[in-house]
Chains A and B, each alone.
Chain A
Amino acid sequence: MDRERQRILVAMSGGVDSSVAAALLVEAGHEVVGVTMKTFCYQETPGASRSCCGLDGIMDAKRVADRLEIPHYVFDVEEEFTRDVIDDFVSEYARGRTPNPCVRCNSNTKFRDLLKRGRALGCDAIATGHYVRMRAAEPGEKPSLLRGVDRQKDQAYFLWGLPPELLPLLRFPLGHLLKPEVRERARGLELETAEKPESQDICFVPMGNYREFLEQSLPTRHPALEPGRIVDRAGEVLGEHEGYAGFTVGQRRGLGGGFPEPMFVLEIHPERREVVVGPHRELFSPGVRVEELNWLADEPPLPQESVQVQIRHGAEPVEAWVEETAVTGTTGLDTGLELRFHSPQRAVTPGQSAAVFAGERLLGGGRIARALAAAEVPEPSPS
């Protein structure tokens, strides 16, 4: 931690992690300013027990700030959050993909907004309670973002989309700690949030029921929620489904029974309202095409370079190499790249993120456009 006293903006959700992050910075002697972003209004979310503005979380954050004797402010980012995160979430499902709203929020809303507001408040740095670490820059380089020491809690996967110019300003006080240590610290500080359960669900989807959320967000009779066919790769009709938005690649549930072997979702074709299924072995792909790239490292990986890629939260990173950069993306611009896995990977899911690592270090990443089919991938692999 820096020796000199800095004014640091800390994003406080009211949860245990960001509370302890703020406490650690206070302990280190910094002038800490807590902020909570009001991202959407729970009042309009049916079934949510919380009242207006996610008030419980905000009130928890205020109480923690009071305990730490730091100022705390609430900022309304509802408009940006709705545009960049919720609208994207809905349109991705409508396109038959499986979005990753936490990545969107970190990439587009949370950190950019924190930076803007932090500067206006005269802050020198921005901190959050993410379980990742910053490694100070060598002269002439950007600092690097590393995985958290607690591998169970590591959140680097969610941060590939950070605006790289922010890196020198970021502080992650929990990156060196294990979750039990964080809880212990929260208890030691008698923080109200010490025993708060982990938040797992998507914050704006009440009770984790995303289908209901989509029903309210999409126009009535949107194809994504209308019945369609379940087919196999050969096009043979195997059954009916209640809307392709209810499916994600690799899913087994909701396909009905009566198959000679367990069936899994392989692909979703929104234009035909078809869900393509197949046996487990067909779920594996030799590579992935990634678009909407963002690089935190000064130099993105070059063709043939070896990297590790993580294709979903909680998954182990796998060895891969860059086959091609400058893939023409859906926008018509060269924004993509193709990665080949050393061994085929299960359930490569369009819409999810591919985070690219060199060991501990997060290089960047992008959104998965599609899995590569075995036929597209010529042998052999360099290593």
Chain B
Amino acid sequence: MKPVYLDHAAASPLRPEVREAMAPFRDGLVGNPSSVHRWGRSARATLEEARDRTAALLGVGGREIRFVRGGTESVNLAILGRFGGSQAEGKGEPLFVRSSLEHSAVRESMDELSSRGARVETVSVAPSGEIDMPGLEALLREKPELVSFQWVNQETGIVLPIPEIAERCRAAGVLLHVDAVQAAGRVPLDLTENPIPLLSLSAHKLGGPRGMGVLLVRSGAEIRPILFGGGQEGEIRPGTEDIAGAVGTARALEVALWELEEEVDRLSELRDLLATRLKEGIERLRVHAEHAPRAPHILNVGIPELPRDLLPGALDLEGVAISAGSACRSGSTAVSPVLEALYGPSAGSVAPIRFSFGWTTTREDVEFAAETTPRVVERMRTLGVGG
């Protein structure tokens, strides 16, 4: 049995092109970009080139790209940084708005703000992918400090109508932050057309290096640093820069965008193939958010009357690596807040499986999962392993 990896939404392996691009800056003498000598200058030149390439790929200006340490940090910087800005402006109970599906980085950053005196409101999203626009409009009239919406949901693949939201926020004069961690390389990110003031990316979800992220900060978006100790990254992210990381991030984005159209077609086909085969093989299986606009790299299914914490292990033992719901730090599987937001308390009674695909995923991988998963489910059902 050769195990197959269908968990690209959690981590995608480093692309060989990226490794190659990074190699010269991982070994040997790489200076500190703040140093005046030749090694410092050379490092600065490499860093700024990576920044410019990243900006060009996203259709924004080079000064608007900030390299940070990962997607979670990028999101935290946008949200806590904006809170810092509102406090500096002396606002009493600033309002922050999020969608009901946000990743824990957004959700828990805002929970933290709520404990620091902010008001946090949540706009619901339906399983169809439709957001509560009247609810959003009503909140926009209250002039929130920040609205944070994800572009692609990390568990179901739901694509939110970011261009429309961006337009409404712009019209209302409200700052928008978009968590695009799952979107980059999977849906077209049209930043020239859409005025999105703040946007977060993570390099490793794209086949880039771990621990690298980007926060796009467009002019007019005032945020404060959350770390202190140097003026790097436009005064908002101090610390000696990771040159190889920046080069790798730019290269990963480049490769992902280069292949975008083909990959969207290829992964959509694999996703639909797997969904069809699983529906044939597993009675009463439901595809979560089936009728919503969805990104091509995620398929989330729910199997009723099975304990939700058993499937990941059972599939792992048979060689299919997937995720289910959201993992607690202990590794036990809690009810997914995303599925709960979409389906209410009934989310607790189905066992979810998230299959996610990426650049290494082949048709054989998907065939293997399509054949193995029904067999494992059938075994559990035959044994009466009820939920």
Contact = CB atoms under 8 A, between A and B. Distances in A.
B332 A120 contact: no
A52 B310 contact: no
Contact of B330 (A35, A74, A116, A120): A74
B333 interface: yes
A53 interface: yes
B209 interface: no
A254 interface: no
Contacts of A52: 328-330
B312 interface: yes
Contacts, number: 63
Contact of B310 (A36, A55, A72, A121): A121
Contacts of A29: none
Interface string A42-55: 00000000001111
Contacts of A33: 313, 317
Contacts of B329: 52-53, 55
B385 A53 contact: no
B330 A121 contact: no
A7 B318 CA distance: 12
B385 to A, nearest CB: 4
Contacts of A54: 330
Contacts of B379: 120, 122
B314 interface: yes
Contacts of B331: 58, 62, 72-74
A289 interface: no
Interface residues of B, number: 21
Given A53-B332, A58-B330, A120-B379, A73 B313 contact: yes
Interface in B321-358: 328-334
A277 to B, nearest CB: 45
B383 A119 contact: yes
Interface string B290-319: 000000000000000001011011101110
A265 to B, nearest CB: 40
A69 to B, nearest CB: 14
B311 to A, nearest CB: 9
A262 interface: no
A71 B317 CA distance: 8
Given A120-B379, A120-B385, A122-B317, A75 B330 contact: no
Interface string A17-59: 0000000000000000101101000000000000011110010
Interface string A289-330: 000000000000000000000000000000000000000000
Contact of B332 (A71, A74, A117, A119): A74
Contact of A38 (B313, B330, B380, B383): B330
A76 interface: yes
Contact of B314 (A53, A62, A120): A120
A75 B379 CA distance: 19
Contacts of A62: 331
Nearest to B331: A74
Nearest to A33: B317
A354 B207 CA distance: 61
A282 to B, nearest CB: 49
Given A52-B328, A58-B331, A120 B316 contact: no
Given A53-B328, A55-B329, A73-B331, A116 B385 contact: yes
Given A53-B329, A55-B330, A58-B331, A119 B385 contact: yes
A76 B332 contact: yes
Contact of A73 (B312, B318, B328, B380): B312
Contact of A75 (B310, B376, B383): B310
Interface in B260-300: none
Interface in B200-230: none
B380 to A, nearest CB: 5
Contacts of A35: 313
A121 B317 contact: yes
- Output the residue of B310, B330, B380, B385 with the most chain A CB within 10 A: B330
A115 B312 CA distance: 17
Given A75-B309, A76-B333, A116-B385, A121 B328 contact: no
Nearest to A75: B309
A33 B312 CA distance: 13
Contacts of B328: 52-53
Interface string B357-387: 0000000000000000000100110010100
A47 to B, nearest CB: 20
A120 B309 contact: no
B332 A38 contact: yes
Contacts of B310: 75, 117, 120-121
Contacts of A121: 310, 313-314, 317
A120 B313 CA distance: 9
Nearest to B334: A76
A62 B379 CA distance: 26
Contacts of B330: 36, 38, 52-55, 58, 74
- Output the residue of A7, A58, A62, A76 with the most chain B CB within 10 A: A76
Interface string A182-210: 00000000000000000000000000000
A189 B383 CA distance: 36
A143 to B, nearest CB: 22
Interface in A82-134: 116-117, 119-122
Contacts of B316: 71, 73
A55 B328 CA distance: 10
Interface string B123-140: 000000000000000000
A58 B332 CA distance: 10
A120 B317 contact: no
Nearest to A53: B330
A76 B181 CA distance: 30
A55 B312 CA distance: 20
26 contacts: A33-B313, A36-B330, A52-B328, A52-B329, A52-B330, A54-B330, A55-B329, A58-B331, A62-B331, A71-B316, A72-B331, A73-B309, A73-B312, A73-B331, A75-B309, A76-B333, A116-B385, A117-B385, A119-B385, A120-B310, A120-B314, A120-B379, A121-B317, A122-B314, A122-B318, A122-B376
Given A76-B309, A122-B318, 16 more contacts: A38-B330, A52-B328, A52-B329, A53-B332, A54-B330, A55-B329, A71-B316, A73-B313, A74-B331, A75-B309, A75-B310, A76-B332, A116-B385, A119-B383, A121-B317, A122-B379
Interface of A: 7, 33, 35-36, 38, 52-55, 58, 62, 71-76, 116-117, 119-122
Top 4 closest pairs, chain A to chain B, by CB: A53-B330, A73-B313, A74-B331, A74-B332
Interface of B: 307, 309-310, 312-314, 316-318, 328-334, 376, 379-380, 383, 385
